[in-house]
Amino acid sequence: METLNRPDEWKIEQGLSGAKLPFLDQSGGETVLIAPHKWEGFVKDEAAIKSVGDPNKLFTRELDGWKGYVEWEKYPEKKAKAHKILTSQTFPPNPEYQMGPIPDTNPVLPGTHWKMWHHAVGGELTSIPDDSWAIVLREKHPDMLHLLQFPYNGEPPKRLVTSKAVTPNPLHFVRNHGGIPLIEKDKFSFVLDGLVANPKTYTLDDIMNESRFPRMEKLVTMQCSGTRRIEQISLYPGQGDEVPQAPWAEGAIGTAKYVGISLKKLIKDCGGLIDGAKHLEFYGADTYFKNDEVMNYLVSVPWSKVKANEVILAWEMNGEPLPKIHGYPLRVVVLGYIGARSVKWLYRIKALKDPSLAPVQRKEYLYFNQQVGKHNQRPTAGIQIQEMPVSSAIMSPWQKQVVIHNGKIRCKGWAYSGGGRWPERVELSADGGFSWYEVPVENLSEKHKWTWRTWEFDLPCDVEGWIEIVCRCWDNSLNTQPLSVRAAWNWGLHVTSSAHRISVYSINKSRALTKDRLAKFEHIGAPLAPLTWPEEFQTQSWEEYNAYFEKNGPRDVDD
Ligand SMILES: Nc1nc2c(c(=O)[nH]1)N[C@H]1C(S)=C(S)[C@@H](COP(=O)(O)O)O[C@H]1N2
Ligand SMILES: [Mo]
């Protein structure tokens, strides 16, 4: 039969392939369909690319002993050349991971065009995707969930996120915007310049010298503002570039003990700030691509934060030298701020009057009003995210899981608050957030000013069938979480701080009927899981059935 339908027409009509739906433009007289853009394949202007010059001479290693570090910020003309190469050809489109089916693979997303951009620019960038993946395999736990292979973004599986209150290094989440620079410790130094009285260069030995700078040791939870983004995505998709908006679950949070020095002391060592400097800009040696431009990873924090001794330059993580993937040999750790400000592979600190003009600071990590989106967004409409609000998450059980219990469901999770606030109370609800039980204080891990608390709780639950378990935290300032994802939804999909909700199917074995039925499944050897398979036996004898109606009367009554 001839048909106008596509094979997946039903799925598309049902919104199960949302990205394939045409837009309806009803703004004119008649409705016009706007079909999703189709990529037209590779176009490459070889002559234009060749005219730029030899990448092996243009895009070179900036410093001996710093593999994969290409300096961009000092050389506008070099940036322009990379831009020309990138705009003289086309690359594959953004993968659809919000409205389309998510692949069943680990890594979930390969980062195809990010790899291609590195290869297209060439020179020192050529081997970075392979070198970075080799580091992932060497430094990370084999059970990590790789959301994006390159630039590497990965989180531990739920069962390991809160298995320890201090996250072992191999299980700490990783969030990269580019490749991993491989820096030799002996060749390492960084500069502190800009609006300071005496700009200086420091080696690791300089800052590790305890007679010059007192050491700081802090237990710190680092949280990416994208944590739990998948909840926003699954209800209301938003901006969809796989690096800025990586589809994190609850694992983009981790806790470690960092050793380093307070940045404040270093600024003092440089004679202090001058000329009204109010912000400190951090430079990371990795290369980030955005809108066909190449750049190093740059962000800034206000001086007030540094002055409070809440910005550490750290070389040690959980008693080991910083792993390469976490910024070896030196990174910034900003207490209580989103992870994005804690720059890895630090090579420069610059004192400025205003916050960094870099795109990561000014155009990303923005928190928009709900009505802001692709159709109207401007960077000035977003709040630059700094401190994370209070949040929490359930690590066990899982969304859509069936739990057989005796009237209590064993739950585990974490709770965290940014800005130097801490979880003071964690509450769970088994009825969608109508009634709340308090997690006893002895079931929470220790409290510290800058860290999360992990928790465990046997949540009373009498009801059976689909229930909604909800978790929320109250921090020490009595801030708590909005109750719906929608209340906090935003175009950049940041800061999913709403109470964490999971749908669980409750089978309460403390009820006699349920207990007998489960025994029957076991006795016959009939499969109980999956839930949706019909049971393969008579659930009631005809005798029992007839006896019931004899006693209780027929289905219908005479009037
Ligand atoms: N140089 C550099 N620093 C960086 C990033 C990066 O891509 N490059 N990512 C930032 C972001 S967004 C986060 S959440 C944290 C994550 O730190 P981790 O990878 O050590 O867990 O690092 C931050 N520092
Ligand atoms: Mo992040």
Which CATH number fits the domain that encloses residue 490?
A: 2.60.40.650
Tell me if 176 CB under 6 Å of ligand 1: yes
User: Does residue 369 sit in helix, strand or coil?
Assistant: coil
User: pLDDT > 70: what percent of the chain?
Assistant: 100
Q: Residue 558 above 90 pLDDT?
A: no
Confidence of residue 101 (pLDDT cuts 50, 70, 90): confident
Alpha-carbon distances, residue 517 vs 155, 406, 468, 520 (angstroms):
39, 14, 24, 5
Ligand 2 centroid to Cα of residue 246, in Å, is 9
Give DSSP secondary structure letters for 408-428. Answer: EEEEEEEEE-STT--EEEEEE
526 with 416, same domain: the answer is no
List of residues 6+ apart from 535 with CB closer than 8 A? 521, 526
99 with 198, same domain: the answer is yes
Nearest CA to ligand 1 atom 24: 343
Q: Where in the sequence is the domain holding 2, given as residue range(s)?
A: 1-38
C-alpha torsion sign, points 208, 341, 286, 224 = positive
Alpha-carbon distances, residue 317 vs 314, 331, 373 (angstroms):
8, 10, 38
The pLDDT of residue 554 is: 87
231-235, 293-297, 553-557: the lowest-pLDDT one: 553-557
For residue 14, count other CB atoms closer than 10 A to its CB: 10
Q: Residue 128 falls within a domain, yes or no?
A: yes
246 with 281, same domain: the answer is yes
Contact by Cβ (8 Å): 227, 130: no
Nearest CA to ligand 1 atom 15: 339
Q: Residue 102 above 90 pLDDT?
A: no
327 with 469, same domain: the answer is no
pLDDT tens-digit profile of 431-456?
Answer: 999 999 999 999 999 999 999 999 99
Confidence of residue 370 (pLDDT cuts 50, 70, 90): very high
The mean pLDDT of 18-26, rounded to a whole number, is 94
Cα gap 20→281, rounded to integer Å:
42
Q: CATH number for the domain including 292? A: 3.90.420.10
Tell me if 222 CB under 6 Å of ligand 1: yes
- Classify the phi-psi angles of 243: left when phi > 0, otherwise alpha if psi is within -120 to 50, otherwise beta: alpha
189 with 331, same domain: the answer is yes
475 with 519, same domain: the answer is no
Mean pLDDT of the chain: 97
86 with 207, same domain: the answer is yes
Confidence of residue 337 (pLDDT cuts 50, 70, 90): very high
User: pLDDT > 90: what percent of the chain?
Assistant: 96
- Residue to probe by mutation, ligand 1, list 169, 172, 224, most atoms within 8 Å of CB: 224
Q: Residue 375 falls within a domain, yes or no?
A: no
The mean pLDDT of 318-344, rounded to a whole number, is 98
How is the chain split among helix, strand and coil, in percent rounded to 5?
25, 30, 45
Residue with the two structure tokens 């392939």 = 17
What is the end-to-end Cα distance of the chain in Å, rounded?
54
Tally of structural domains, the chain: 4
Tell me if 340 CB under 6 Å of ligand 1: yes
pLDDT tens-digit profile of 507-544?
Answer: 999 999 999 999 999 999 999 999 999 998 999 999 99
523 with 409, same domain: the answer is no
Q: Residue 146 above 90 pLDDT?
A: yes
